[in-house]
Amino acid sequence: MPDWLEAVLRVVGVLVAFLTLPLVVGQAEHKVMAHMQGRLGPMYAGGFHGWAQLVADGVKFVQKEDVTPREADRAVFRLAPVVALVPYLLALLVIPLGPGDLVGQPLDIGLFFVLAVVGVGVVAVLMSAWASANKYSLLGGLRGAAQLLGYELPLVLAAASVAMAAGTLSLPGIVEAWRPWWLLWQAPAMIVFFVAGLAEIRRPPFDMPVADSELVFGYLTEYTGLRFAFFLLAEYVGIVVIAALTTVLFLGGWQGPFADAQLGWLWTLLKVFAVSFVIIWLRVSYPRLREDQLQRLCWLVLVPASLAQLVLTATVRVWM
């Protein structure tokens, strides 16, 4: 197969995953929340088990008027939803689905690349907040910046722990080095990474930047129609990326109970959807943290825990 054709196929595969997996997670969130909270509405659209609820939401967003505030910085205001999506698309390029060639672009520094591009999300938050010319949006943007900059540290430290244990920054290399006993040894790092990842994508209970009871809807207040839908899509893609990274770094990726490499992609997807279910479950189960509680959790709990795990990993690596 020519190199150019292989590159095109890899990009197309990543684009298909980028467009379909978030929709599956979004549909699952409708159903999971409907069951957990006894909501009847999402169970009726389209008939059987409300299968058309996501379609109805999409039609609703397309029909809504696209409004740009008069005092807004129009170019930045319109560009922000795209900036929110692009980092997650780039992250999916290097996250392996299975062994061998089941990855968009294998990189020796894949973990470093993913953490770098995911951190760009704070730029989209600040762009939308500042360009909206709305005080509630600005307050939400500042909250978002403080939250994302704070939780970036435990996220990176937890990922560094498993990278040190594996001896590589390559995501496929980390999966190949992973052993089942790491579920115990790296469990603190996994918890820190997962919680910090939730804060990075601003999912409840870490949704202070869009606190509707205080800030209308934070940095999203002035967005309508498809631009608002793009921000929602970015949130669901963020769920997929965080779930996929948790799977690859801490749950063994494509490794399953059977030594069949042909089913590696299936094990990866099952683990990703299981972690996504936990993310949805947390949204339904826990109330929003106050700003002081959010920062205290970051600096007094997650950062010390990730540093302690890093020291433990370094010690074990020296003695191995």
**Would you state the pLDDT for residue 193?**
95
**Would you state the pLDDT for residue 303?**
93
Angstrom distance (rounded) from CA 31 to CA 39: 9
In this prediction, residue 131 has a pLDDT band, given cuts at 50, 70 and 90, of confident
To which residue do tokens 């947390």 refer? 282
Residue in 292, 240, 309, 226 with CA at minimum distance from that of residue 269: 240
User: 229 Cβ partners below 8 Å, 6+ apart?
Assistant: 58, 61
- pTM to 2 decimals? 0.91
Q: Which amino acid is present at 45?
A: A
Whether 227 and 65 have beta carbons less than 8 Å apart is answered as no
Whether 61 and 55 have beta carbons less than 8 Å apart is answered as no
Q: Token pair for residue 304?
A: 């010390």
Of 311 and 212, the one with more pLDDT: 311
Lowest mean pLDDT among 78-92, 215-229, 263-277: 215-229
**Would you state the pLDDT for residue 259?**
61
**Would you state the pLDDT for residue 23?**
87
Angstrom distance (rounded) from CA 179 to CA 250: 9
Find the distance separating the first CA and the last CA of the chain, reported in whole Å: 42
Report the b/e string of 266-289 with b at 16+ CB within 10 A: ebbbebbbebbeebbebbeeeebb
Give the H/E segment covering residue 266.
helix 264-285
Q: How far is CA 297 from CA 3, 145, 150, 161, 304, in A?
A: 48, 16, 10, 20, 10
**% the chain with pLDDT above 90:** 25
Mean pLDDT, rounded, of the chain? 85
**Would you state the pLDDT for residue 160?**
93
Digit-coded pLDDT (tens) for 31-90: 888 888 777 777 777 777 777 777 777 787 778 777 788 877 888 888 888 888 889 989
To which residue do tokens 């190199």 refer? 3
Angstrom distance (rounded) from CA 67 to CA 188: 45
Whether 128 and 77 have beta carbons less than 8 Å apart is answered as yes
Angstrom distance (rounded) from CA 209 to CA 5: 43
Whether 198 and 281 have beta carbons less than 8 Å apart is answered as no
Q: Which parts of the chain fold into alpha helices (H)?
A: 3-37, 53-63, 74-94, 110-118, 121-131, 135-166, 171-177, 182-185, 187-200, 212-215, 225-250, 264-285, 291-296, 303-319
Helix 74-94 and helix 3-37: axis angle, to 10°? 100
Of 156 and 40, the one with more pLDDT: 156
**Would you state the pLDDT for residue 220?**
83
- Asked whether residue 226 carries a pLDDT value surpassing 70, the answer given is yes
